Amino acid sequence: MRSKARFSALRIALGLAVGVLTAAAAHAAADPQLCVACHGPNGNSQNPAVPALAGQPAQFISTQLVMFREKRRVNEQMSPIAATLANADISALGKFFSTQQREAPAKKPADDVMASGKALTEKFNCVACHGAALKGQQHIPRLAGQQADYLRTQLRGFKAGTRFDMDGNMTAAAQPLGEPDIDVLAQYLSALE
């Protein structure tokens, strides 16, 4: 009798725990806490392979989330997360991260690297699309203060045609870049505030 009562108490407790977990999972989607584990505090990434989200245009963030969810852009870490997001979550997350302050970059490359990087962004018209301060606009991402390794990987991907690209503009823009250009651009852009 006693053990039966204990057993049903256990079942009730388990049932409640499962209920609470399911409710938590249903609400976790729009919770930026789910994102900061990888994207860093307030979207200021501390992982060279993970892009910062703080201060990215809201439209860029939400467009990319939809593209991950629709499997047009694929990444083994990011795709399963995006798969759980509803449209309302996506627009809330875009708003949230776009209004977070981007932290000032920790590293500053040598002056000659900064000067060459600036010259390359003018020569190859990066500023025409990504904005004079390279902070992005609408569906075009902010590059200023982004992780250098992430920028390098993406530029190599656009050049090779393996990085998702909505309208082909960025794939075209990456074609004339050599590996030394990509390296200088990544160092320069990551050091911009």
Q: Which amino acid is at 175?
A: Q
Radius of gyration (C-alpha) of the chain in whole angstroms: 21
Q: Tell me the C-alpha to C-alpha distance, in Å, between residue 115 and each of 112, 127, 131, 187, 188.
A: 5, 15, 18, 11, 8
**Least distance (Å) from ligand HEC to the CB of residue 90?**
8
The distance from CA 179 to its chain's CA centroid, rounded to whole angstroms, is: 23
Stretch that binds ligand HEC, among 5-13, 14-22, 106-114, 118-126 (CB under 6 A): 118-126
Stretch that binds ligand HEC, among 8-16, 18-26, 104-112, 128-136 (CB under 6 A): 128-136
| Nearer residue to ligand HEC within complex by CB, 8 or 77 | 77
Binding mask 129-168 for ligand HEC (x = CB under 6 A): xx--------xxx-x-------x--xx--------xxx--
Binding mask 32-61 for ligand HEC (x = CB under 6 A): --xx-xxx---------xxx-x-------x
- Residue 46 backbone zone (phi > 0: left; psi -120 to 50: alpha; other: beta): alpha
Q: Phi first, then psi: what are they for 21, rounded to 5°?
A: -60, -40
**Least distance (Å) from ligand HEC to the CB of residue 162?**
10
Stretch that binds ligand HEC, among 3-11, 12-20, 31-39, 100-108 (CB under 6 A): 31-39
Q: How far apart are CA 127 and CA 32, in angstroms?
A: 30
The binder of ligand HEC chosen from 40, 54, 57, 64 (CB under 6 A)? 64
The binder of ligand HEC chosen from 87, 99, 137, 169 (CB under 6 A)? 169
Structural contact between residues 32 and 65, judged by C-beta atoms closer than 8 angstroms: no
| Nearer residue to ligand HEC within complex by CB, 118 or 139 | 139
Q: How far apart are CA 183 and CA 177, in angstroms?
A: 10
